[in-house]
Amino acid sequence: MSTTSTPPASRRWIALALIALAQFMVIMDTSIIGVALPKMQAELGFTQENLSWVFNAYVVVFGGLLLLGGKLSDLFGARRMFSLGWLILAVGSLVAGIAPDVATELAGRGIQGAGAALIAPSALTLLMMLFGGNPKELTKAFAFYGAAAPAGGTAGVFLGGLITEYASWPWVFYINIPVAVLALAAAPALLPGGGAQRGSIDVLGALTATLGLAAAVFAIVRAPEVGWAAPATWGTLLVAVALLGAFIALQAKRRSPLMPLAIFRAPNLGAANLAQLLLGAAWIPMWFFLNLYLQQVLGYSAFPSGAALLPMTLLIMIGMVAIAPRLMARFGSKAMIVTGLVLLAGGLFWLSFIRPDGSFAVDVLPASLLAALGMALAFIPSLQTAISSARPEQGGLASGIVNTGYQIGSALGLAVVTALAVANGAGEVGNKPALTEGFSTAFTAAAVVALAAAVLAAVTVRRTKAVVTTAA
């Protein structure tokens, strides 16, 4: 293993800003397209059924390749993979922006996802390299980094509305290119080099994981159209189970697996990752359907719809940077994970009482702020618990696993909640009572996911005192 060159202490916090920007952008790319979808549908010829793949093509490739991205980060060095990821993301953004048809658009989104799958785990590894030696600073660094993820998701809706209304939809992709140029220029000066290890790449493992996850999402997304009992639905789900089963079998047998199953023997790693998966499965459907409620029921146009979610973003950033670390230091990670998930469930359940003739101030703002506070309290402790549970030399792998959990939870959660919402009226555009009923069902389903996550966290997460004794 090569030596690691760490930048001077004065540069570490600037480096953290670059790492947080990376997390902000890769998560923003999951949400920024939401408001632009109707115009993309009209210009590129998407059907109502395959439109969701503009979101899913990115998330499935992103989530499916994250484990490989984490492994590559460990093998070839985190900074090198960080820079390569930005280059690939820029190429994918250009392809998606100039796409003349559906196939090219989805290809561009998939390339974006591949770039993000290199950026996200290497960014977390770099954070650990910069701050891992100082537990007090590490907690603060995780707070800033963690705030970038949900803030990026919510801010993406705002920026997507701004760009779609005042520019044109391709700019929701082009916006990545100047940021990529900035990251590529700044990385050599700010980020630590080295950290490479010897080993091999499990290509077959990466293929089975990605194809298995894609098949599962595809089956769930199409189920409302072809029927849950249809042979096509169950056949595709069986293929997904077979591929994911093959992935697990390969990991158990290989000498250099993509995901060594022994890593889950680390206390709290599996429990914290489960919390992250279910957190994504509850949070992403919330902002997705909240945006639809604002536009299709309350009549907001693209920009006001995105702006309406800014209070959530601000509370999340304040909660993650100023509130969550202090409470975690006092009460410990487990208490914060459980409390945050319960608050998120409460906010989602409150949102289920939306009305066809409702208003932002009554039906959206208070409930969304409660949900945002819950997200802020649960995200940082579960993320830090997952990463800190692994050995330092497996930092890239642990980063890939926790990012995979959140992204795949997001994709599968949105697919399942969308199917339930459509079955209860969410597809009847123009019929406000039916839409409201469908969106209410979506919020209720997401609340159940968040509550289940709270119960599971209470049972599976072990109490730790490390944060309590070292953090401020």
Cα 22–chain centre separation: 13
Tokens 């044109």: give the residue.
Answer: 168
Does position 30 have pLDDT exceeding 60, yes or no?
yes
Q: How confident is the model over 145-185, as pLDDT tens digits? A: 877 876 777 678 778 878 887 888 899 999 999 999 999 99
- Identify the burial level of 261 via C-beta atoms within 10 angstroms of its C-beta, where 0-12 means exposed, 13-18 middle and 19 or more buried: exposed
In this prediction the pTM is 0.78
Length, in residues, of the chain: 472
* Mean pLDDT calculated for residue range 353-381: 94
Task: Give the tokens for residue 201.
Answer: 């790449």
Please tell me the predicted confidence (pLDDT) of residue 21: 92
Question: What are the Cα distances from residue 439, in Å, to 259, 296, 420?
Answer: 37, 11, 9
CA-nearest of 209, 196, 184, 188 to 72 is 196
Please tell me the predicted confidence (pLDDT) of residue 98: 96
Q: Which of 43-52, 134-143, 285-294, 371-380 has the highest mean pLDDT?
A: 371-380
At residue 70's C-alpha, the angle toward residues 64 and 73, to 5°, is: 140
The proportion of the chain whose per-residue pLDDT surpasses 90, expressed as a percent, equals 35
CA atoms within 13 A on the CB side of 150: 37
Q: Are 262 and 270 in contact (CB under 8 A)?
A: no
Task: Give the tokens for residue 446.
Answer: 């997401």
Q: How confident is the model over 49-107, as pLDDT tens digits? A: 677 788 878 887 887 787 788 778 888 888 999 999 999 999 999 999 999 999 999 99
CA-nearest of 123, 55, 57, 58 to 84 is 123
Mean pLDDT value across the chain? 84
Please tell me the predicted confidence (pLDDT) of residue 96: 96
